[in-house]
Amino acid sequence: MGGKILAMLVMVGLTGTAVAQEEGNTSQGADNGQPFQALSALIEENNQLIADNAGAIEAIAVEVAVLAGDIDVINQQMADLDTRLGANESAIANALAMIDENSVNIEGLESDLISLSDDTKQDIDSLRQDIRLLDQEVGSLLQTNSGRIASLLLALSVLSADVQDNTAAINPLITDISYLMSQVMFNTNSVSLLNNQRNLLVARIDDLDFLLLTLNDEIDKLKVGVVVVGGGTFTDIGINETISGALTIYDAISLGHPSRSNAYSDTYTFELGATRTVVIDLASPDINSTGRRGDPGFVDTLLVLHRGDCRNCRLTYNDDGGEGLNSRITMALDTGLYTIEVTSYKDEAVGEYQLRLQ
């Protein structure tokens, strides 16, 4: 830029000189004999010219100054651009390096691709070769075995004909078999139904058997109640006699003790010709070792003494006066007839006992 401004200034100077020379030539033509005067006049004329153009020169100088300011601004912008370029230089260098590197990679990939393509082509060629060999082999086998294949085809056609012939015979047999199968199914169902009915009948018979047993028990009890309650048989017992007996469901229901409703009883009578003290012992081997109520074979004895041959004329009674749960009555009695009632403390107890009168 500085060079351009200098060139403009030179042009301005040359233009001034050319104008001065042209005017000088004109003065020379008018005053040929006096060169110094003419030169002096020319210088003066030039000076005048410079003086006349001083304003223009000053204006140009101002413009030059303005242009110099612009140049400074532009120089500053260029310096900024240089700075920014410097700052991005490494990034640009990296990017260029990456481009170079990728170029190498791309070349490698291209090479691989070409190589793979070649391999694939080779594989395809190899497979084609195999197929050709197989074709040849198949052709050879067909040729070698053509006679055999022909006879097999013939045998197959004969078999097909046989199958057709036999199919006609088999079809009615299949129909028969399916009919028989349906009959078997029907009969199986019938047998199953009959079995179910049989099982139901067996269960019902069991129920009825159980009911019959229960009814027999009830009948036995009712018989006892009807025939024996309030009655019963009286057996004689003598002094110093021991009698073994048993309480069973066929014995009379006891009336001798009001706290029980369904205890069985046996009755024994004795007669005293003179006043005396009697000892009556009642023991049961069916009292178990623990003596607990409700255990199997439990007979907790109870002894009742009645006046006369009566089952409901109580003089006294005893529960556990003997050993364990056994009973004992010791009592002074007048002459007369007495009844010993052998029974149990709890209802419906059955089992053996021994009764001794002394």
Binding of residue 286 to Ca ion (CB under 5 A): no
Is 281 an interacting residue with respect to Ca ion (CB under 5 A)? no
One-letter amino acid at 51 equals A
Which one of residues 254, 267, 284, 301 is an interface residue with Ca ion (CB under 5 A)? Answer: 301
Q: Which is nearer to Ca ion, 42 or 302 (CB)?
A: 302
Q: Is the dihedral of CA 56, 60, 61, 62 positive or negative?
A: positive
**In the window 229-258, what residues touch Ca ion (CB under 5 A)?**
251
Neighbours of 19 (CB within 10 A): 14
Q: How many residues bind Ca ion (CB under 5 A)?
A: 9
Q: How far is the CB of 190 from Ca ion (least distance, A)?
A: 57
The CA-based angle 247-356-346, given to 5 degrees, is: 35
Residue 45 vs 319, nearer CB to Ca ion: 319
Residues, the chain, total?
A: 358
Q: Which is nearer to Ca ion, 20 or 325 (CB)?
A: 325
Maximum alpha-carbon separation in the chain: 228
Kindly write out the interface string for residues 36-75 of this chain, putting x where it contacts Ca ion by CB under 5 A and - elsewhere: ----------------------------------------
Q: In terms of Cα–Cα distance, which of 299, 302, 314 is closest to 246?
A: 299
Those residues whose C-beta lies under 8 Å from the C-beta of residue 265, and which sit 6 or more positions away, are: 232, 247, 251, 252, 253, 254, 255, 256, 311, 341, 342, 343
Residue 319, interface with Ca ion (CB under 5 A)?
yes
User: Which of 23, 45, 320, 352 contacts Ca ion by CB under 5 A?
Assistant: 320
- Look-up of token digits 């391999």: 119
Q: Please report, for residues 105, 113, 119, 271, the alpha-carbon distance to residue 116 in angstroms, rounded to integers and kept in the order given.
A: 16, 5, 5, 137
Helix axes 54-228, 35-52, angle to 10 degrees: 30
CB closer to Ca ion out of 253 and 325: 325
Q: Pick from 274, 284, 332: which is nearest to 305 by CA? A: 332
Shortest distance (Å) from residue 326 CB to Ca ion: 6
CB closer to Ca ion out of 325 and 349: 325
Distance between terminal CA atoms of the chain?
A: 170
Taking CB under 5 A as the criterion, which residues in 103-162 touch Ca ion? none
Q: Is 341 in the site for Ca ion (CB under 5 A)?
A: no
Residue closer to Ca ion (CB basis): 300 or 341: 300
For the window 256-275, what string marks contact with Ca ion as x by the rule CB under 5 A?
A: ----------x---------
Contacting range for Ca ion; rule: CB under 5 A; set: 54-62, 219-227, 287-295, 322-330:
322-330
Name the 3-class secondary structure at 328.
Answer: strand
Residue 300 sits in the site that holds Ca ion (CB under 5 A):
yes
Q: How far is the CB of 215 from Ca ion (least distance, A)?
A: 23
How many of the other CB atoms lie within 10 Å of CB of 345?
Answer: 19
Contact residues: Ca ion, CB under 5 A: 251, 266, 300-301, 319-320, 325, 327, 345
